[in-house]
Amino acid sequence: MKVIIEVSRQFEYVLNKLEANFTLWELKEFTHLRSTYAKSMYRLLKQWRTKGTREFNLNEFNFLLDIPPSYKSGSVDQKVLKPILDELPKYFKVLKLIKIKVNTR
């Protein structure tokens, strides 16, 4: 079977250059990650790699990583943060996690 798609020459690379090194490299990295949370964070951090930092408030973090509401702080540390910190430093030169405790009173 054959699919023929016609696009503007300006956008030809979108279809014909999908195997560019950066795409294959990132896909290879991504497929080597074991944790679902590490994969989600990898994807999020790659979107911000040129800025250098990314902050998440707690609600945003829980939503983006689809963390169950039943997870208490200890569960998040063990089941979410630990796999992220175990797997991602080899793909991000300086990966730091800083928890900021906000006083709600």
pLDDT tens-digit series, residues 31-41: 899 999 999 99
pLDDT tens digits, one per residue of 63-88: 999 999 999 989 999 999 999 999 99
For the chain, what is the radius of gyration of the CA atoms? Answer: 18
Contact call for residues 67 and 80 (beta carbons, < 8 A): yes
Measured CA to CA, the distance from residue 45 to residue 88 in angstroms comes to 10
pLDDT tens digits, one per residue of 21-31: 455 667 888 88
Two tokens at 65? 């990583």
H-assigned helices in the chain: 12-16, 21-32, 36-47, 58-64, 73-75, 82-87
